[in-house]
Amino acid sequence: MHRCIVILTIGILGVVKSQANDNPFGCSGDTCVAKLGEYELQQTVSLRRGLDLGAGFDGGYRGYDLATQLEIGLSDVSHVDLVLAGGVLRSADFRGSFIEGFSVEYKQLLGAAKPDEWNAAWAGAFGYSRVDAASGEERIETSYFGRLFLQRNFGSNGDWCYVTNLSAGLSHAADGTCGLLEWSQGLAYRASDRWSFGIEAVAKGCWTHGRTFANSALCAGPCIAHRMGDCSMVLTHLWQVSGSPSTKGDRNLRDTSRSETRLLVAWGF
């Protein structure tokens, strides 16, 4: 299973007050950017369950992905993300913790952000990984991604938020190059200034050598977000709805987890 992750490090920074992350989704990005002089620190913890690694269905598999992300505002329309990723894995073949790798992503708005209209942004990312988070196997992998973000707020007071992301990229390791494609969507309702409730869906596929189909999966589930002052939290739970090639019913439990729970905590400063 090929994974791409992102970035790293915090130095001594000049502090400018920033609002908390307003994105109500844990797996889908919105079109907002950190502005010049603003910073946002995000910590993500994801629990993956039920990969079949050759020891039967589920195989006692538990994978915890940890990602620390720092957003640094470059201008009113762009920022850079730095991410450091690691994890803890308990499976039939591996038990322990690891530093997976890092990534750098540049994100920019397409035009000026306008309320009650479609807004768009794009991003380009480079990633470096030394461990396969699915198996704990050491290997060197580099990845390059392009992403498109679309967002529309609607309703009488803009209480509803819809986002969709399209990501395409290449990952290269010693065993070859893979093409990766991911499409995510989210729909959320802002019940108050602090609470949001919604649903997300993520579809992803992988092609070896960029042309031979390897695997795919469709996951969906609910999300809940809480925002208070400079801090925000988003909890998302996704179940695999279908996958190919199927290994258990309609699901692919060889290359993709049965379910994933993700907690994202953000602090703007």
- Asked if residue 208 has pLDDT above 60, the reply is yes
Six-digit token string for 61: 């598999």
- pLDDT per residue over 87-137, tens digit each? 999 887 788 999 999 999 999 999 888 888 999 999 999 999 999 998 889
pLDDT at residue number 172: 95
Global pTM value = 0.87
Which pLDDT band holds residue 21 (cuts at 50, 70, 90)? confident
What are the residue boundaries of the structural domains of the chain, listed by start? 39-268
pLDDT at residue number 22: 86
- Asked if residue 14 has pLDDT above 70, the reply is no
d(CA 79, CA 122): 11
Average pLDDT over residues 197-215: 93
The domain defined by 39-268 folds into Porin (2.40.160)
Cα–Cα distances (Å) from 121 to 1, 110, 164, 178, 203, in that order, read 28, 5, 11, 25, 20
Q: What does the mean pLDDT of the chain come to?
A: 88
pLDDT at residue number 55: 54
Angle at 121 between CA 155 and CA 13, to 5 degrees: 105
